[in-house]
A = this chain, B = another copy of it.
Amino acid sequence: MNHPAPLETPTRILLGPGPSDVAPSVLRALAAPTIGHLDPAFLEVMDQVCAMLREVFGTENRLTIPMSGTGSAGMETCLVNLLEPGDRILVAINGVFGTRMAEVARRLGAQVTEAHVEWGRTFRAEDLRSAAEGEYAVVAAVHAETSTGALQDLAPLREVASEVGALLLVDCVTSLGGYRLALDEWGVDAAYSGTQKCLSCPPGLAPISFSSRACDRLAARKQPVQSWYLDLSMIAEYWFADGGGGRAYHHTAPINMLFGLHEALRLVLEEGLEERAARHARNAAALVAGLEAMGLELRVSPSERLAPLTAVAIPDGVDDGKVRRHLLERYGMEIGGGLGPMQGNTWRIGLMGAGSTRRNVTLCLAALREALEAQEWAVGGDPLAAAAAAYAP
């Protein structure tokens, strides 16, 4: 076979819904020589990763680990461990990822009740309560809907979950590392995330966290977890030697990815959780100011809007594909298209982790204005002046 040449990959600016730009020191950590998954030096890496993850999730949950798959594997891990066939789950759906949770739960044989609000909106207690009937094993919701850019207040969901006797499961894929999370304070029983959003590590790992109540549920299961690969009771024997006989091999951990996550988490804590959340908020506010100055409309109202991801309505007469190609080809800049009902009519601009910078805000606004003008769309005011004003003290 004629084998291909070594890869020559382009250098992008990743301002889509993830993956986000990765810090150089994280890329270097990925490339450290591989060591064994039972090497004493690696066991120390694992312990440090768990400790840092707890800090970033805002929890003292012991069972806080990165699963060996992408964010969607984290979702499946939570559902397949917490639910048995026939169990009831109430899912709050306001975008792609709530929809996906319901689908994953149905596949494992759970009885699913769906609660819906419009995409781009979030749930009040009443929206969820009115869909509920009787008791549930789990109430599930998305903290930061990556498909729409909406941030869910979790307090009302915790309230309803308690009313229906349920554990609260939360998708934190786009909030982990971009907000100050407080799983324990918020009463979240299980959470999952991905590494490629506000942690700015490449995709491939799914941090999860289970409260002691969630662990009790796991221990009380009548049937084994349907997925061997995602069975937390066995995986905990590897991470915490819960079997009693030292760390037990389950599957070969993705060593180098964990080196990368170690460095990514270290950078998060070095910056400080409050400082990092404030940076995400500041850059998002400047982006929003610039977009609105041009006359673009946002999909989510200010009170429900995510900082790491801004959803923008594509103006009538503007070609989605042409604008994104303009940004990619002239600037090596990626922004995201819409999903589901938002496909073709929405852009998703991510300012996540290492990508949440003033430089990216300014360049994105300049490039987007240029692309819109190339489509002969009448740009309103000057986005760069508006963004600069938003940064002014």
Contacts and interface: CB of A to CB of B under 8 A. Distances in A.
A31 B34 contact: no
B18 A22 contact: no
Nearest to A252: B203
B229 A269 contact: no
Interface in A63-84: 68-73, 75-76, 80
Interface of A: 1, 3-4, 6-7, 9-12, 14, 16, 18-19, 21-22, 25, 27-37, 39-42, 45, 48, 51-52, 55, 68-73, 75-76, 80, 100, 103-104, 107-108, 194, 196, 202-204, 224-229, 249-257, 259-260, 262-263, 265-266, 269-270, 328, 334, 339
A12 B30 contact: no
B252 A7 contact: no
Interface of A is mostly: loop
Contacts of A251: 70-73
- Tallying the copies of this chain within the complex gives 2
A252 B30 contact: no
Nearest to A204: B254
A6 B29 contact: yes
B103 A228 contact: yes
Contacts of A204: 68, 204, 254-257
Given A9-B41, A203-B253, 13 more contacts: A3-B269, A10-B39, A10-B41, A16-B36, A19-B35, A19-B252, A27-B34, A72-B229, A100-B228, A194-B252, A203-B254, A256-B257, A256-B260
B6 A35 contact: no
Contacts of A21: 33-34
14 contacts: A1-B52, A9-B35, A10-B39, A12-B33, A12-B39, A14-B34, A27-B34, A27-B256, A70-B252, A71-B252, A76-B229, A104-B228, A196-B255, A226-B226
A52 B287 CA distance: 42
Given A34-B14, A228-B107, A252-B18, A4 B48 contact: yes
B11 A266 contact: no
